[in-house]
Structure formats: C-alpha cells, structure tokens
C-alpha cells in the first residue's frame, strides 16, 4: 500500500463578493431580457488578477446538462462586432495612418464594397475618428479598416492577444480565429475592421481592452494567487495612442451608444457591441444577436476592466447599448462600492 501523497493547494484570485455581484446581475439581466445566456469578466488592471468570471446558465450538479457545463467567458468564442473597432483604430493611429481628430466622410450613410452594401442607421456625414467609435459608424469603420489594411488589422489584433489563448490553466479555453486567407475582398477587410470574419472570447476581449488602461501594455491576467500562471507583459501600442483611444471611449459614454453605462459617482470609458450570430444555413441570422459592452472604471485609477455579453436577447431590446451597457453599470457600481474606490 502506497502512502497518500497530498496535492498542492491552489488559491484563486477570484473575489467571492465580486463574483457574486457579477453573477447576480448577469443572471438577472439575462432572465429579464429572455436571453439564451451570457458572461461577465472582471479584471484588476493594477494587480493583473482575474476577480470574477461569471457564466449563465451555470452548472447545477443536481440537474447536470452537458450543454451548460462550459464557462461561456472562457470556452466560447464569438464574432465581437463593434467592440473590435477601437483596436483597429489603435493600430491605425500607432502606424501613423490615422489620427483621432481626422475627419471621415460617411455620406450618404452607406458604402458599396465588392458589390455589397454596408450602412449606418443614419447619415452621420463628416465625423472624426473618435466619433466613428462613439457613434459606432459601420461606414466610418469600413473606411478606416481599408486605410489600415488587412495586414495591419491582423497584426494589430494579434498584438492585442486575440490569436492566442489566455495563459491560464483551464480546460477547453477558447481563443480567436482571424480570417487571413489570400485574395481577401474589400468587403471582408471592412468586416474584419468592425468585428466580423473573426472570433474572440470574453476573456480575450477584456484583456485586450486592459491595454488602454495600462499605458499600452498587454499582460496575461492570472487566476492563481501563487503565480502558477506564467507572467507576460508586452508594449503593444504607444502611450499616447492608448490615451487617444481612452478619449474616444469616454465619448462613447457621454455622446454615443454607451450612455446607459454611466455611473453616478464614477467616470467610465467603454464600447458597445452588437453582432449578428452566424446561421447554420450560411450567412447570418437576422433575428439572433450577441450584445456586449466592455468598460474601464473608474477612469481616475483605471483599476478595472469589465466585459459583459448577452447571447440572444429578446428582439425588443437586443443592442449592446440598450441591454449590455446597463448590465456593465450594475456590476461596476456594486464592485466599485465594495472596493471603496
């Protein structure tokens, strides 16, 4: 008989109170909006710790179902939609191709690329690059993507960590796939510029946005306190580029699609995303969406990055600005009060 060898103790960075807040608000919003599911991720930009990873529906050992054994924040990759636009713009600014105050002509409210039409809800006419982000203009984002080019977009997304799995020990962790085939059309380049023809996970997108809070540095966030996860930190954009994007993300809240993410006592910055889901029959299902929001709060300390997504919200309330932004606000408000920021 062999003597029992005790295993190693591992202490998670997950804060039970923050995890409770994230799960409580996530489950409430999903059920209130008749949604299929969703995820929430809370990162501490200063310590590099993952404070919460919530997924709904959650696994219930009393009613085991294979389809909900996964953690959506870690195991699911999806087309992020407009959440991706600031990353594309950041790459363009860093390359010296565009600037945040550069004016983009989006008239007459649509653009024809490769025989396909990309349109905005209205004609925004002449708007700055920052306003392209704030108003989430598809026409503006398309023109910017073509300026950056497919090589710039792909290299930029890779630098933001979207093509490799987050460096944490978790089974089946998802990571993004980016369309990088040869002979890509202008329409496909534009699509990649506003978050289609590519995928990413909730954790990947949260980590990517932490770059704007961390002076342009990308880091691997850890889930074990004893540094089981290997550390990684890399400068991916200039400091002034990170500040330019933060200014644009503030405009999203004050004068753009993210007004419902406002907090009473804290200034925040963030971005909405609304993406069609792919159809099993090919193309996209016009009745199924993923609504998302990612924000940095509070701006004074830039301590937290919070990402939330809602899978297939009801058709009466399906946009990132209308359903995901207020979910972010609910989680952020409780977490910041708890942390006494």
> Which residues are catalytically annotated?
82
Q: Could you count the other beta carbons within 10 Å of the beta carbon of residue 180?
A: 16
Residue with tokens 């609504």: 291
* Three-state secondary structure readout of the chain: CCCCCCCCCCCECCCHHHHHHHHHHHHHHHHHCCCCEEEEEEEECCCCEEEEEEEECCCCCCCCCHHHCCCHHHHCEECCHHHHHHHHHHHHHHCCCCCCCCEEECCCCEEEECCEEEECCCCCCEEEHHHHHHHCCHHHHHHHHHHHHHHHHHHHHHHCCCCCCCCCCCCCCCCCCECCCCCCCHHHHHHHHCCCCECEEHHHHHHHHHHHHCCCEEECCECECCCCCCCCEEECCCHHHHHHHHHHHHHHHHHCCCHHHCCCCCCCEEEEEEEEEECCCCCEEEEEEEEEEEEEECCCCCCEEEEEEEECCCCCCCCHHHHHHHHHHHHHHHHHHHHCC
Phi and psi at residue 277, to the nearest 5°: -90, 145
């Amino acid at each position: 008989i062999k003597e029992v060898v005790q295993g190693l103790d591992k202490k998670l960075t997950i804060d039970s109170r923050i995890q409770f807040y994230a799960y409580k608000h996530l489950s409430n919003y999903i059920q209130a909006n008749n949604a299929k599911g969703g995820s929430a991720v809370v990162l501490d930009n200063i310590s590099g710790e993952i404070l919460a990873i919530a997924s709904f529906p959650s696994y219930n050992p009393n009613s085991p179902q294979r389809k909900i054994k996964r953690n959506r924040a870690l195991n699911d990759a999806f087309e992020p939609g407009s959440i991706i636009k600031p990353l594309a713009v950041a790459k363009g600014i860093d390359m010296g191709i565009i600037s945040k105050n550069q004016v983009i002509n989006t008239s007459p409210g649509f653009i024809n690329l490769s025989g396909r039409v990309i349109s905005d809800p209205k004609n925004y006419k002449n708007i700055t690059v920052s306003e392209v982000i704030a108003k989430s203009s598809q026409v503006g984002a398309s023109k910017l993507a073509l300026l950056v080019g497919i090589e710039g977009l792909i290299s930029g997304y890779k630098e933001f960590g979207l093509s490799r799995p987050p460096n944490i020990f978790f089974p089946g962790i998802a990571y993004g796939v980016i369309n990088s085939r040869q002979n890509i059309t202008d329409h496909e380049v534009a699509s990649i510029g506003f978050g289609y023809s590519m995928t990413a996970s909730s954790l990947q997108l949260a980590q990517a946005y932490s770059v704007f809070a961390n002076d342009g540095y990308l880091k691997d966030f850890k889930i074990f306190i004893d540094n089981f996860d290997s550390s990684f930190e890399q400068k991916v954009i200039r400091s002034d580029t990170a500040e330019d994007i933060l200014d644009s993300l503030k405009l999203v809240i004050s004068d753009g699609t993210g007004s419902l993410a406002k907090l009473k006592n804290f200034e925040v910055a963030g971005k909405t995303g609304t993406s069609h889901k792919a159809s099993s029959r090919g193309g996209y299902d016009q009745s199924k969406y993923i609504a998302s929001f990612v924000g940095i709060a509070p701006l004074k300390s830039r301590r937290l990055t919070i990402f939330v997504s809602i899978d297939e919200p009801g058709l009466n309330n399906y946009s990132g600005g209308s359903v995901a932004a207020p979910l972010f606000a609910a989680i952020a408000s409780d977490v910041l009060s708890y942390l006494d920021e």
